[in-house]
Amino acid sequence: MKKIILLIAIYLVSNAINAQQKKIWDETKEEKTERLAWWTNDRFGMFIHWGSYSLAGRHEWVKKYEGIDDVDYKKYFDNFNPDLYNPREWAKLAKAAGMKYAVITTKHHEGFTLFDSDFTEYNVTNTPYGRDALKEWVNAFREEGLKIGFYYSLIDWHHPEYTIDRVHPLKPKNKEDYKALNKERDMSVYREYLMNQVTEILTNYGKVDMLWLDYSFPNGDDGKGREDWGSIELIKKVRKLQPEIIVNDRLDLKEYWGGWDFTTPEQFKVKEWPTYDGEKIPWETCQTFSGSWGYYRDELKWKDNKQLLVLLIESVSKGGNLLLNVGPTGRGTIDYRAENALSEIGDWMRFNNRAIYGCTQAPEAFEVPDNSLLTYNPETNRLYIHLLDYPLQNFTLKGMKGKIKYTQFLHDASEIKISNPVGHWIKEEVGEGDVNLVLPVTKPPVEVPVIEVFLK
Ligand code: GLC
């Protein structure tokens, strides 16, 4: 018996030590929720992928996909001169679409920085453009009232000390060749560079609301993870420089408290609210309009307005955010197709944003009616029913009898009556405990109409 107690005690103590070791940031769960509150409220942000690859106009991975060497690739740097760049226009577009924050690529995998850096010549001030494009961006977005975030690529295809790995453009055909290729490369020099540049962007631009580090691929000898980046030191520095910043989860520090703030499902829809260790966690899906993040002139797989709205609504209905990407052109303008898409989203958001901001997954007690999605605002106690496929007049809410004060369309605040089902001959009875809404036959001129339910 004594032995068992001793074993249990050892187990508990070692667990406690372990938990301690895995804690990077001294913050309670409640404090974290509080720190993330603006972001979980705002729900919708703009991702911006802009770099020297924008001149190629065929994906931000063009260097890798086409195996372009540094010498050849330099033409995009030498010609980087976005004469029409006006970040205030970008900010206005984002705002009109209902976006509340934006995250821009300060450096993507190609290694080119949109900011002035003391640690590389390969920065925007040495292009024909000649100015710190990031500074202008920060000022414009701040002035328009948007929160600002920096994407920074951990991966670097330009830095001479960055060791060749499986995603690098110089990846060898045979695994045995890595050694020879990396003989002259010293990753610790790059690690320091990474720390220096992250320090620069978190020091020279005032308050930064979000940091998006991208990305780790730790499995195998040709991958990279926390040891390669010096992730623990890096995140500690980040938290020190910007204690309120919200950081994504790509540093390979998943099991560390404080190593990340939210998870980032990319280019797919989650089935349900993501969890870690059995608990629901903050999440944000990042999505493109058309597949590529950087400007891609000839790409044809564009999502339509309804798909984009459903992406947003569905994310909120599962407790998450949407970060929707634009890839500005080499001249510094937003692709006309993206501009159109944003303006259509804005048409919907103007009248329906109450079903997005401050909303989250509806309590499980509410059954999701057919062909719809639910969002819920816990503050106002209102339920939003997003009608993905507009019904014919009768719309039954199961188990809602006695729970509703009032119902209306959100876009025009016109009452929706609770009444017996309309129709003749044989018709479905509304069940005991259910409520029937009578909708107008004509679908309102709204891509996805929303019913606002004031709950008791
Ligand atoms: C991926 C890609 C990258 C893109 C990012 C956005 O990790 O490497 O091109 O910036 O996803 O989430």
* CA 95 to ligand 1 centroid distance, Å: 24
For strands 372-377 and 210-214, give the pairing: unpaired
Residues 313-342 have pLDDT tens digits of 999 999 999 999 999 999 999 999 999 999
Please choose from 64, 293, 326 the residue to mutate so as to test ligand 1's pocket, defined by most ligand atoms within 8 A of CB. 293
Q: Of the candidates 289, 263, 267, 262, which has an alpha carbon nearest to the alpha carbon of residue 93?
A: 289
Q: Could you tell me the residue ranges of all domains in the chain?
A: 27-355, 372-455
- Hey, what are 235's tokens? 């995140």
Pairing state between β 210-214 and 147-153: parallel
Ligand 1 pocket check for 266: Cβ under 6 Å: yes
Which residue's CA is the nearest one to ligand 1's atom 5? 214
For residues 378-394, give the mean pLDDT.
Answer: 97
Buried b (16+ CB within 10 A) or exposed e, 37-51: eebbebbbbbbbbbb
CA distance 64 to 97: 33
> And the tokens for 249?
């989860």
pLDDT computed for residue 298 by the predictor? 97
| Sign of the CA dihedral with 23 first, then 26, 31, and 34 last | negative
Instruction: Evaluate if pTM is beyond 0.85.
Output: yes
pLDDT digits (tens, 9 = 90+) for 350-362: 999 999 999 999 9
**Mean pLDDT calculated for residue range 250-266:** 97
Q: How confident is the model at residue 413 (pLDDT cuts 50, 70, 90)?
A: very high
- Give the homologous superfamily in CATH for domain 27-355: Glycosidases (3.20.20.80)
d(CA 320, CA 317): 7
pLDDT band per the 50, 70, 90 thresholds, residue 9: low
Q: What is the mean pLDDT of residues 112-128?
A: 98
Domain 372-455 has CATH 2.60.40.1180: yes
